[in-house]
Amino acid sequence: EISTDDPETAFCTLANREELNPEEDSIHHCLYQFTRNETLTETNKLLCDVCTQRHCGPKSNIGGKYVYTNAKKQMLISLAPPILTLHLKRFQQAGFNLQKVNRHIKFPEVIDLAPFCTAKCKNVAEGNTKVLYSLYGVVEHSGTMRSGHYTAYVKMRAMNNHLSDLVLQGQSQASETEPVKGQWFHISDTHVQPVSVYKVLSSQAYLLFYERVL
């Protein structure tokens, strides 16, 4: 999608991301790095149709003449989803082999996506500077790249009427800033047992599931 926004506001976010100062090995740091502003230069320059026509004429593409220019790139959220699924990359290249990444990544019960949303996020009410999500599920993998076991943490909670409004109508009047109340359970095959939120937040998350509350 080509953006025709004012260059001065094209890279603005719903909330000030520069005040984040995210802690390393945290989901906030991962999102901050993923949505950082990048400069495209040298072999990464952007093909500019306008510049090409301006310098070479409208039929220049026939002769294979193109003009490339320096550019800025940033990936931001333009439509906040009702359900947010975050998939952590838990492998890295080690020579010719893939190696599992086992370090713990910190994640919160409630996360604010506003610093990672475009200033004109389509389904955020005008004036809102928060886009809040509450954690309700975690998938964890134990083992290696060759073998292992998946388990899950799931929160049993009351129905989220605001989430239903988002799914069915694309809008919500929610005002919660606290986690959705409920009981956490650890599920491993046929074994299910209640656990504390501390146990959940200490897990080595592979997939994170959040539901929008604001």
One DSSP character per residue, 130-159 reads --EEEEEEEEEEEE-SSSEEEEEEEEEE--
Amino acid identity of 40? Answer: L
Assigned token pair, 71: 């550019």
Split at pLDDT 50, 70, 90, the class of 210 is very high
Q: Which residue has the higher pLDDT, 169 or 34?
A: 34
Instruction: Please tell me the predicted confidence (pLDDT) of residue 50.
Output: 79
Q: Determine the pLDDT at residue 100.
A: 83
Q: Is the pLDDT of residue 59 over 60?
A: no
The pLDDT-based confidence of 27 (bands split at 50, 70, 90) is very high
CATH superfamily label, 77-212: Cysteine proteinases (3.90.70.10)
Where exactly are the structural domains of the chain?
Answer: 77-212
Confidence of residue 49 (pLDDT cuts 50, 70, 90): confident
Task: Give the mean model confidence (pLDDT) for residues 208-214.
Answer: 92
- Among 214, 201, 204, 202, smallest CA distance to 135 is for 201
Task: Measure the CA–CA gap between 90 and 104, rounded to whole angstroms.
Answer: 10
Q: Of the given ranges (75-84, 107-116, 172-181, 182-191), which has the lowest mean pLDDT?
A: 172-181
Query: What is the identity of the amino acid at 200?
Result: V
pLDDT at 162: 66
Nearest residue to 210 (alpha-carbon basis) of 141, 160, 142: 160
pLDDT band, very low/low/confident/very high, at 171 (cuts 50, 70, 90): low
pLDDT value of position 180 = 79
* Highest-scoring range by mean pLDDT, 63-67, 74-78, 168-172: 74-78
pLDDT the model gives residue 34: 92
Q: What does pLDDT average to over the chain?
A: 84
Q: Looking at residue 205, what is its pLDDT?
A: 93
